[in-house]
Amino acid sequence: MTHQPISLSAPRHHRLLWPMMATLLVVGWSSGFVGIRYASEEAGVMLVLFWRTLLSGVILLPFALTIGPLLRMRGIAEQMLFGVMSVFLYLGGFALAIEQRVPTGLVALISDLLPLAIAALSQPVLGERLSARQWFGTAIAVFGVLIVSFDSLSFGAAPLWAYGLTVGSMLVFALASVLHKRRRTQHMPVHQSLCIHTLTGSVLFGLCAMMQGDLAPPLTRAFAVGMVWLVLIATFAAYSIYYTSLRLFPVAQVSAAIYLSPPVTMLWAWALFSEPLTAATFIGLTATLVGVWMTSRS
């Protein structure tokens, strides 16, 4: 297979399409923190993930059954596998690591290195080779993420396997992303695939939540607000835009936008929870913007 820089392999679209989709992706991806912040005040993480995925899947189910091609068992089975990888193992792995007392800042940093893993996998799996400029941009973006995350980094007393779990969860989602991109001719509509992903995740998260106690949701305002946020923004918006972008643009270019999630998350925390902004936030945001621009520009 001939290897070309990803900037040359992208299909031609309106020049504003990717900036608009990248902005929506970053806003949706970083907003998961807000929903978790509200909902986890009233329930354990596994229960929150169960209701997040169950509500998402149930809302999408009527549309998945009536709009789009007829769902066949082979396609459903393939999407269930992607659901296990991109929903259950990815979200659940990080949740379990936090419950095992891996510091949240370290978990967030490893999660935010997802684009680096995708960039590394995109060449051997997809034949999408990053140019020297794009690797340099990636390095700058990673540096920006480290600046933003530095103050919250610490190493706790969690078991060794829990630290490995965070890395493994990130790598599983990276692999799922490049495999999803690789299946160019057998894509089903995003609303159908996302429905299968979330319903698959809900079954597995439900089993985990039952092991910890009851599946009944807390009937509180904070939990309801958290669920609305997680379902509408962090699931429907973020995942839908992410999978749609994978079909239109090179996978490393799409994932590079996720580097902007840490500083944007800090802005969410400042706007909604009055958490202070530091100089490191703005320095890291600037560095990350430069890195993402270098990685994504044609």
pLDDT tens digits along 181-216: 776 545 688 899 999 999 999 999 999 999 888 888
Judge whether 7 lies within some domain: no
Judge whether 9 lies within some domain: no
Judge whether 111 lies within some domain: yes
Number of domains in the chain: 1
Judge whether 8 lies within some domain: no
Mean of the per-residue pLDDT values for the chain? 80
Judge whether 11 lies within some domain: no
Phi, psi angles (nearest 5°) of residue 4: -130, 155
Judge whether 10 lies within some domain: no
pLDDT tens digits along 13-71: 567 788 888 888 888 888 877 777 777 777 888 899 999 999 999 999 999 999 988 88
Judge whether 140 lies within some domain: yes
Judge whether residue 112 has pLDDT over 70.
Answer: yes
Q: Rounded to two decimals, what is the model's pTM?
A: 0.79
Residues of the domain holding 238: 16-296
Is 8:137 a contact under the CB 8 Å cutoff? no
pLDDT tens digits along 229-273: 889 988 999 888 988 888 888 877 787 888 787 778 778 778 877
Judge whether 5 lies within some domain: no
HEC sequence for 157-176: CCCHHHHHHHHHHHHHHHHH
Judge whether residue 146 has pLDDT over 70.
Answer: yes
Of 116, 83, 120, the residue nearest 199 (C-alpha): 83
186: DSSP letter: S
The residues facing 128 across adjacent strands are 4
